[in-house]
Structure 1
Amino acid sequence: MAHGYVRSDVYGGGGGGEFADNLTEASTLTKVIIHHGAAINSLQCVWRKPDGSTLAGAVYGAGGGTRQEILLEEGEAINEVRGSQGWLVTQLSFRTNRGRSFGPFGSDRGDSDFKISGNDHGIMGFNGRAGWFIDALGVFTAVKGSEEVVRPWAGVFLPVPDQQRDKGRSRYWVFHKDQYRPIDIIEIADGGTHKDRVAGADRSVSAWSSLSGIDRVRAVLPVPDRQRVGGKSRYWVFHKDQYRVIEVDDGPDYGDRMPSGDRPISTWPALKGVGQIDAILPVPDHQQIGGKSRYWVFHKDQYRVIEIDDGTAHEDRVSSGDRPLSTWPALDGVERISAILPVPDRQLVGGKSRYWVFHKDQYRVIEIDAGAAHDTRVVTGDRPVRADWTSLPH
């Protein structure tokens, strides 16, 4: 019987509601039921329980279209899922440890392809987002015996606007799932060591009036020409396939409000084809240069460069199209970024900037040069988040 499960990255769009198979009583995956047409309409798993009886899982999606079943033989397990993704999961195919293939189901109308690989114990179930269709999909892979269960860390850092490098301390709100907490990062100027600590108790995201209706913050981008203007700072907040504008006052009360409500991410020309944003990193030497600011936008295993104008309209555009993460030497071995945090006292020092990059349950320190090429390198290799960052929620 499985001891635990690893949750993979999720591929697809940001619509629908979150789902996850309940594997508490499941022992062996025996069947997957798929409805499909131009996209994947629905998914359902069937398992064998430890007592030999059958357990049917929940149906995710609305059904309809062509119904097909994947029937697994005794000792057979799904160890690879391939698909096509855009705003929805449009196509899926499956391969087992016995070399059998099923599919493709659906159509190849997505913007890009993805692959999820399981281990020797196989894929046991699914998680993701669904409404009328399967909007996004990930898997659970079984972990047996004494194998370590890897629990990826993912969060969003929002700098407290009036508490950056204040007497050697920088403070951040960290959003994690439906909670947030303030943390401090303590700068040690002469040694390069950065200690972190919790600065307050966890609270629900709903405690922010500007975040009403958001169950999980996916990314935050400061509006470049609206930081600490009249004691107020504005941010674009991305959640699911939507974004909104919020405004936060300087302290001590940090009042917040929502000047502009939710709109689809697709209304940004610069973000066309991006289903879910993983992280946004300002290009350090291209902030408000000639009234324009540039950013690296990370999504899945890709990144692109976008440009945003100052002014009321904040017009945006793609400056450089999608490229694989692997083209950055500093991101070698990183399949998907979960968060990036600038090292507060190492920005444009000698023409170089440093960052903490979080991926899976690890983090590393990378360095980026100023200039046209923006050469990158790893400064400190991967270390476990839970061991080193005591301030972060897990």
Structure 2
Amino acid sequence: MNTESVLPRFKKELTIIPADRRVEVKDQLVIYYVAHGYQDAGSVRVITMSTDAAHTDKLVASDTPWVQSPGLKGITTPLMTMPVPGREDVDGGSEHYVFSYDEGKKVLKYRTVWTSHTGPYISTLKVDDRPVVDHWKSMKNMEYPIATIPVPRRHNVDGRSEIWVLTINPRLQDLHYSTISVTRDAEHADALVVDSRPVADWWKGSLTGIGQLAEICPVPGRQDVDGKSEYYVFHRDSKRLLYRKISITCDAQHSDTLETGDRPVADHWPSLKGIE
């Protein structure tokens, strides 16, 4: 497979690291570290969003080159993040896996970073880069994962959490998704629950018509409410960055619905100004 030929078309430009849901309940705000841009031009900023119906967003820490961030330094193409199970609220911060593509070695890597929940907002490196193929049985055949979604009501069930991982298919250049699980003990053992499926066949209610997928993140205060969880989906058409809101039911069917159609990020997200 020639993954290199896929990268220019599906260049990842937005990676969001959300804080833990327990912080959301305590402070009525959710903190997000937002990495954007590419390689030497990449930056990271910190924003907050309220958990009320207004979901007011605010920039709380302006752009800093990610080469100056101990947690992101050395990454050329950040692809996606995933909370480390059982480490979502530790020492005043959260631990996340950050997955990236090494354009020199042509391999998918991951590291563990810690991000603070309060100012001064910093990220630090906990575990340096490792090849995904050597440490993730569930992801050994994934070359270009770009977003994760926590599976509703499958968080810490029987000691493990389930996650949907959305990927680009290198051959067909379309979206696929898999379901994986990660244990919450110190081993953090992973397993493939459901193998890769085309998004177009299984997410018809919410993801039909999206352009180049950029990121998916949970809507603050709207997780497992009235039997469903809501998510913001960021994607780009030929001209601009857009977002829509989708929902997924918390029952076994996990039915998906488009809640709000596409809107320009530039018109509705003051905290993301300059990224549009």
Structure 1 residue aligned with 2:171: none
Structure 2 residue aligned with 1:66: none
Aligned pairs for 1:21-170 (under 5 A) are: 86=1, 88-89=2-3, 134=4, 136-138=6-8, 154-161=13-20, 163-170=23-30
Structure 2 residue aligned with 1:236: 97
Whether contact under 8 Å (1:244, 1:262) holds in the other structure is yes
Give the match's secondary structure for 2:258.
Answer: strand
- Answering whether residue 182 of structure 2 is matched by residue 182 of structure 1, we say no
Structure 2 residue aligned with 1:323: 197
Q: Given the superposition, is the C-alpha separation of residues 156 and 167 from structure 1 closer, same or farther in structure 2, using an over 3 Å criterion?
A: same
TM-superposed CA distance for 1:195, in Å, is 2.3
TM-superposed CA distance for 1:242, in Å, is 0.7
Structure 1 residue aligned with 2:126: 259
RMSD: 2.3
Q: Distance in 2 between matches of 1:331 and 1:292?
A: 27
TM-superposed CA distance for 1:248, in Å, is 3.3
Structure 1 residue aligned with 2:141: 273
Q: How many residues align?
A: 250
The residue type paired with residue 186 of structure 1 is: S
The residue type paired with residue 110 of structure 2 is: Y
TM-superposed CA distance for 1:333, in Å, is 1.5
Whether contact under 8 Å (1:302, 1:324) holds in the other structure is yes
Runs of 5+ consecutive residues of structure 2 not aligned to the other structure: 102-107, 169-174
TM-score by length of 1: 0.59
The residue type paired with residue 157 of structure 1 is: I
Q: Given the superposition, is the C-alpha separation of residues 254 and 153 from structure 1 closer, same or farther in structure 2, using an over 3 Å criterion?
A: closer
Whether contact under 8 Å (2:46, 2:121) holds in the other structure is no
Whether contact under 8 Å (1:165, 1:344) holds in the other structure is no
Q: Distance in 2 between matches of 1:195 and 1:288?
A: 29
CA deviation map 1:61-119 (0-9, x unaligned): xxxxxxxxxxxxxxxxxxxxxxxxx4x34xxxxxxxxxxxxxxxxxxxxxxxxxxxxxx
The residue type paired with residue 182 of structure 1 is: V
TM-superposed CA distance for 1:322, in Å, is 1.0
Identical aligned residues as a percent: 31
Q: Given the superposition, is the C-alpha separation of residues 351 and 270 from structure 1 closer, same or farther in structure 2, using an over 3 Å criterion?
A: same
Structure 2 residue aligned with 1:352: 228
The residue type paired with residue 314 of structure 1 is: H
Q: Distance in 2 between matches of 1:331 and 1:318?
A: 23
TM-superposed CA distance for 1:290, in Å, is 0.8
More helix by share: 2
Whether contact under 8 Å (1:154, 1:176) holds in the other structure is yes
CA deviation map 1:182-239 (0-9, x unaligned): 112134x3xx332222222111112321322113422111101112234353211111
TM-superposed CA distance for 1:156, in Å, is 1.4
Structure 2 residue aligned with 1:311: 185
Q: Distance in 2 between matches of 1:175 and 1:205?
A: 8
Whether contact under 8 Å (1:298, 1:337) holds in the other structure is no
TM-superposed CA distance for 1:153, in Å, is 8.6
Structure 1 residue aligned with 2:253: 373
Q: Distance in 1 between matches of 2:189 and 2:85?
A: 12
TM-score by length of 2: 0.82
Q: Given the superposition, is the C-alpha separation of residues 303 and 336 from structure 1 closer, same or farther in structure 2, using an over 3 Å criterion?
A: farther
Whether contact under 8 Å (2:34, 2:45) holds in the other structure is yes
Q: Distance in 1 between matches of 2:49 and 2:122?
A: 23
Max Rg structure: 1
Whether contact under 8 Å (1:176, 1:216) holds in the other structure is no
TM-superposed CA distance for 1:346, in Å, is 0.6
The residue type paired with residue 184 of structure 1 is: T
CA deviation map 1:159-193 (0-9, x unaligned): 24585355432221111021011112134x3xx33
- Answering whether residue 153 of structure 2 is matched by residue 285 of structure 1, we say yes
Q: Given the superposition, is the C-alpha separation of residues 139 and 258 from structure 1 closer, same or farther in structure 2, using an over 3 Å criterion?
A: closer
Give the match's secondary structure for 1:386.
Answer: helix
Alignment partner for residue 70 of structure 2, among 188, 203, 209? 209
Structure 1 residue aligned with 2:172: none
